[in-house]
Amino acid sequence: MKRIIDMTRKRTLGRSSLFPEKKSEASTGTKKFDLHHWISCFSFKEDTHMDVNYLQGPRPCHRYQRKLKSKAQKISNKFWMANKNLFEERNRPDLSYTPLVLEEQGNVSPSKIKKLKSKKSKMSRPKKLRTYIPEDKPEISPSDLLKTDKDYVLVGKPGIGKTALTHEMLKLWAERDGEELDYMFYFDMRETSDLMKATSLEDLLFSVFSEPDEGKEEVLDDIKKNSDNVTIIFDGITDLSSSVVKRLVDKDLLPDAKIIITCRPDDEEDFFSRDFRRVEVKGFSEWSIKTYLSVTLGEEQKKVLNNLELLTLCHVPMYALMVSVCFSSEISPQPCTTTEIYINIVRLCLKMNSNKKKTKCLNFYINNKREQILSLAEAAFNAAERKTVILTDLSCEDSCVLSFLKPLFIKVAHTETITAYSFLHYTMQEFFAALWLLKNPDKVQDVFQQSLTEEMKHMRHLIPFMCRLLNEKNPSLMTCLIPAEELRSTSDGFFKELINKDRGSDVDILFLCQCLYESQCPEACSDLLNTLDYSLDLSEQSLDPYSCCAVAYVVSQSKERKIHLDLENVVISEQGMRRLIGCLQRVQWCDPLPRQLWKIFLLSEEQMDHSSLLGVDGNQLHLPVEGKKQLFEGAVKVMQKVTTKVNVCLYWDRPTPVCQHLCESLFEGLLHISSLSFRVTHRDPGSEDQERHHETLRREKKRLLLELCLKAALHKEESFHSVVKRLFSLFSVNTDLINILLDFYQHVKSEGCSSVIPKLRSVFQSAPSVWIIDLSERKTSILLEVLKLQPEKKQVELTGWSDEESEVRSLLQCLPYISQLSFVPQSSDPSDEARFFGNLFCAAAEREQQTGEKILEMLSSVCTYQTFPLNDSYFDDDDDDLKYQCDFLLDLFSHVKDDETKTGLRVLPVFQSVFQSAPSVWIIDLSKRKTSILLEVLKLQPEKKQVELTGCSDEESEVRSLLQCLPYISQLSFVSQSSDPSDEARFFGNLFCAAAEREQQTGEKILELLSSVCTYQTFPLNDRDMDDDDDYDPEYQCDFLLDLCSHVKDYETKTGLRVLPSLQSVFQSAPSVWFIDPSKRKTSILLEVLKLQPEKKQVELTGCSDEESEVRSLLQCLPYISQLSFVSQSSDPSDEARFFGNLFCAAAEREQQTGEKILELLSSVCTYQTFPLNDRDMDDDDDYDPEYQCDFLLDLCSHVKDYETKTGLRVLPSLQSVFQSAPSVWFIDPSKRKTSILLEVLKLQPEKKQVELTGCSDEESEVRSLLQCLPYISQLR
């Protein structure tokens, strides 16, 4: 019963009001009887079996209602589908109504306009832009508008969402429960053709909108009788030219019907005077913008939300739609530029006003509207120059122009109101102003200059728009407005002018990057990079995703050079970071960029992808050593997320206390760290030299390690050892572990934590067996404390020392805990180290005298080893180490001996074990040290020692002292200082002569003793050199012995003493091959040496002489020579061949004169396979050259044959054995040598030979000669 009454009430009494009714004066006095209230006071039971037909009214009406709801649903779906289809197919969102800000209000007053204008002109750009977003009002929803029986005029700017609001009403009505019989009609007033044909209510409702399938008259009658159940929407009304529409609005038809009208502000005057409620549609609030973008863009919405211009632009739903479409596009690999969005918005607005569905038709339409659009652009530019948003000089009334504007009604008098306009958004004004500038390029230079001034700097916002509008890429707009050739003319030089106008110390790099990103012009990017020397300093900037896109685009255009990027104290969003990381392959990956990027990353409030940044730099994470707690906590989270261990790099920019946040983070992430590296950055490049740079780094690194170790000792007692071991590994201190342990011990004591030292014993005992320490940098007392913690004695190796008595005493106290004491040499001169050890021994002697402790014996024991004072691991047994050791011991002996003389204490006897443990070879430079010291040391040896001289002295006293050393020497050698042995030979010559004189004076067998220590195969070189081809030089040895012989022979001539016979054993021990250069040394000396040999020797000539006396002397040597060879000096053997030719000819002459078989003897020493090259060369492919050998023999034959022709002597037959011993293949170049010579040689051969031609000749005589050779040739090639 109650439902029947309620349904009847609704069809008779109408709808309730959403807004409170205004009370009239008449209504205040009398209260009307309320039937509905009276009935509701009774309790009626719900009847579920009530007649449905009664509730729903006549069946045709019900069916028509269903048809209207179906059409309403289709109209709404079609509207949202049209918006949805603007997106690419794979990115189409599920669009629906997003709440709009709706406000019931009157017209804006003139005073309010003036205040708005004044306020906006003083605002900063960000604040000015934010004023476009409407504030959220107490919510009025579309369903609220449907609930009342009031008529509404919905007023709003173009694209502000009026149509979307009406389609949401349609959808809500269509989805409402069908128990209530009501009707809703929707008319799009922009499609006027059918509307104008309607002459009656029936035509309008049934013909234009939807006709009932049955009971047409019954339905029309119900609509007329129950007009309060009818809602009619007129969307986009501009006038009341349709009579039927006018009658409905005026309530002449369907007086109780609910009428909803949408219109723009400049059309509302026709309706506001009627009994309509005015509701202004103000667009999206900030919450609605975010909601809408979340649906359309998802995560990509941040690109818009972080760009204030685009964010505020989106308060207009139609603009928000196009922003979403552009940002969701995947057609281009490059993100959409801001200007492209504005171009698309302009095109969409024009399309909606032109009803042109195809782009081709739209371009034609834009071209037709060219004048009107440019007129609007001019008005926009003029207003921008005046720093106002109000367009007062706009004359165009075209709807396509007005679609971008909102009207402002200004009452200038009681009876006069003028209409001004402003753009829906300030950036749209800047876009159109930029468009006008490109039509008037003569103004561009003025705008460039204006943008640099404080007063007109707002004009710079036009420049990015211009950059993109000059680009002919799609979407097109400018080509429809300005001829292409004009655009190209403007473009020429535009970007160079843009870059050059912003040069200087305060160049706005980010702004230029944004301009060039808009332009999408690689050439302009290259010009900018070249101007900036490929360095982009963006420090202290805040980079939104758009800015990062711009920077990334410019960076990616650098193809030849990598760019230096400075991001110090920069704020970047997550999406922006993704863009930047994508271009890092074109950036110099060097300090401080990695640190800057990680700081940005870790301090960001957004969730960023850590893997991409780790992937850029080999899984390396860069951190400053000081910073906010959030930074280090973020670093730990990154370490814990990745599956592989992270390489951490720490940066210092100045000495600073250890950051506790850093320590805590390193502890927490210790298990996730693969390696630690350390760098020092300087805010003032070049302020520190390289050495100080490394020292600072070493010091700060150690300080951090010690602090971490102490924290581990205090807070991680149970796992302390493993934690410290891990820290030592990360800090790469294994090579300097001893010093770190000593520093750690000292750090623990200095921090007042000595109580934990017993717990740290395991760490100190884990040190290696050799303790390396610099006593000049730390107190020896610390070493003593740590050595006491060791379970056994340790080797101690000193890298520095202190002459302070207290330090020397402390070191003596360490001796009971030391197994071996050594020194790391700091230079090749050991005098300072020797003095330190000398002082140490003397201090030990003094202490022993004072206390009775056997301290000297203890000190000697730790110094008694073969390589003292060098550690045996350091000692390489090479000449440098041996020389250092000998110099040290000689200096030490000298120092202690001097101290004994001063103090009267006996120290040297205790030293005997130290000196006896020294190596078997003593190296001394007699020009720098007294031989008497060597004598004293040798006397301490248990056996004879080898002595190697590195320098010599001509002083008689030194020579005599050396002779005194001979009884203690097993072998005497010399280290050659140059390739000329004359000085060494003279020294040894003097030594032998002095020995002869002393022997004559004293009768001592001193010459024999001297000869014995010089009798070995490599004399005067140490026999160790025999194993080293680089050190052993047989030519040097031969030169030395020849010079020595010459020197001694001269001495014999002067004194009459016979010395050479005593040297016979020395010369006989020499190698089997004697080298001589007859052009430098007399061959007669070689003859003397060869006579001393027990057998024939090989002689190898390293030069030649044409002097007859030298040739004769060489012939005299033949009886003592087993083989005569030559060391070739060049690839041309002519000189050597001439020398040997002269030698053979001289032998022939001498044989003719004396009858000696000298030619036969000469041939015998030259008869071997490799003549004239030494047969050793046969084993060395680099030395043996068969072509050289053939050339030599042919030249030799030619030379001898010429001699035979001149003298008539027969020489060649004696050379037959020489030529027959030659190799089986003969090489000849007929273009350089006569083939007739080859014929002569081949005739001497016992068998046919292979001949290989290395050249050819076209001369007939040579061809004939070659033919004559054929009987003696086995193979020709």
Token pair recorded at residue 973: 């050698």
Dist. CA 1050–CA 1044, nearest whole Å? 10
C-beta atoms surrounding 806 within 10 Å: 11
Return the number of other C-beta atoms located less than 10 Å from residue 625's C-beta: 21
Mode of pairing for the β-strands spanning 151-155 and 102-104: unpaired
Element (H, E) at 1205: helix 1186-1207
- Contacts for 1234 with CB less than 8 Å, ≥ 6 apart: 1198, 1262, 1265
Give the 3-state secondary structure of residue 1078.
Answer: coil
What is the 8-class DSSP label of residue 563? B
Q: Residue 911 CA to chain centroid, in angstroms?
A: 59
Under-50 pLDDT residues of the chain:
1-2, 4, 14, 16-31, 46, 48-55, 106-120, 684-685, 687
1187 with 1214: CB under 8 angstroms? Answer: no
37 Cβ contact list (under 8 Å, min separation 6): none
Residue with tokens 């009304």: 237
| Residue reference for tokens 């090259």 | 1173
The DSSP line for 990-1007 is HHHHHHHHHHHHH---HH
Residue-wise over 329-363: b if at least 16 C-beta within 10 A, else e?
Answer: eeeeeebbbbbbbbbbbbbbbbbbbbebeeeeebb
Instruction: Enumerate residues 6+ apart whose C-beta is below 8 A from 754.
Output: 748
Closest CA to 1168 of 1120, 1100, 1221: 1221
C-alpha distances in Å from residue 181, one per residue of 8, 54, 187, 514, 558: 11, 11, 21, 59, 71
Rounded Cα distance, 771 and 584, in Å: 47
How many whole angstroms separate alpha carbon 29 and alpha carbon 31?
7
CB atoms under 10 Å from CB of 4, counted, come to: 14
Closest CA to 470 of 434, 523, 443: 434
Q: Which amino acid is at 104?
A: E
Return d(Cα 813, Cα 781) in angstroms, integer: 9
Contact of 645 with 673, CB cutoff 8 Å: yes
Evaluated on CA atoms 1054, 1058, 1062, 1063, the torsion sign reads: positive
Q: Which of 828, 834, 824, 933 is nearest to 879 (CA)?
A: 828
pLDDT tens, residue by residue, 588-640: 888 888 888 888 888 887 777 788 888 888 888 988 888 888 888 888 998 88
Nearest to 475 by CA among 316, 307, 363: 363
State the angle between helix axes of 338-354 and 426-439 in degrees (0 to 180), rounded to the nearest 10. 90
Report how far residue 295's alpha carbon sits from residue 609's, in angstroms, rounded to the nearest whole number: 23
**Number of neighbours of residue 527 by Cβ within 10 angstroms:** 17
Distances (CA, A) of 861 to 243, 841, 871, 888: 128, 12, 15, 18
Q: What is the DSSP string of 716-744?
A: -TTTHHHHHHHHHHHTT-GGGHHHHHHHH
Q: How many CB atoms lie within 10 A of CB 925?
A: 17
- Tell me the C-alpha distance between 4 and 290, whole Å: 46
Q: Which residue has the tokens 């010079």?
A: 1043
Cβ atoms within 10 A of the Cβ of 1221, count? 14
Element of type H or E holding 343? helix 338-354
Nearest of 404, 413, 354, 412 to residue 383 by alpha carbon? 404
Buried b (16+ CB within 10 A) or exposed e, 819-852: ebbbbebeeeebeebbbbbbbbbbbbbbbbeeee
Contact 100, 161 (CB under 8 A): yes
| Residue indicated by tokens 């001539």 | 1053
- Residues 1271, 1269: Cα–Cα separation, whole Å: 6
- CA gap 602, 661 in Å, rounded: 14
The CA-atom distances, in angstroms, between 1030 and each of 923, 1024, 1025, 1027, 1034 are: 20, 12, 8, 9, 11
Query: For residue 238, what are the contacts with CB-CB under 8 A and spacing of at least 6?
Result: 189, 263, 264, 267
CA distance 851 to 622: 59
Contact assessment for residue 536 and residue 554, using Cβ atoms and an 8 Å cutoff: yes
Distance CA 1154, CA 1254 (A): 43
Position 503 scores a pLDDT of 63
- Using the CB atoms, write b or e for 289-315: b if 16+ within 10 Å: bbebbeebbeebbbbbbbbbbbbbbbb
Query: What would the 3-class secondary structure string for 1090-1154 be?
Result: HHCCCCCEEEEECCCCCCHHHHHHHHHHHHHEEEEEECCCCCCCHHHHHHHHHHHHHHHHHHHHH
How many other CB atoms are there within 10 angstroms of residue 221's CB atom? 13
CA dihedral sign, ordered 339, 340, 343, 345: negative
**Closest CA relative to residue 121, chosen from 446, 472, 444, 383:** 383
CB 849 within 8 A of CB 906: no
pLDDT for position 102: 94
The answer to whether 1137 and 1197 are in contact (CB under 8 A) is: no
What six digits make up the tokens of 511? 């702004």
Q: Report the distance separating Cα 405 and Cα 375, nearest Å.
A: 13
Distance CA 1061, CA 703 (A): 73
Which residue's entry shows tokens 């999206």?
284
CA distances from 1238 to 438, 823, 1209 (A): 92, 71, 21
Residue 160 to residue 283: CA distance in whole angstroms? 5
The DSSP code for 760 is: G
CA–CA gap between residue 437 and residue 469 (Å, rounded):
10
At 689, is the secondary structure helix, strand, or coil? Answer: coil
Residue 973 bridge partners (DSSP):
948
Helix (H, G, I), strand (E, B) or coil at 282: coil
The owner of tokens 């504030």 is 135
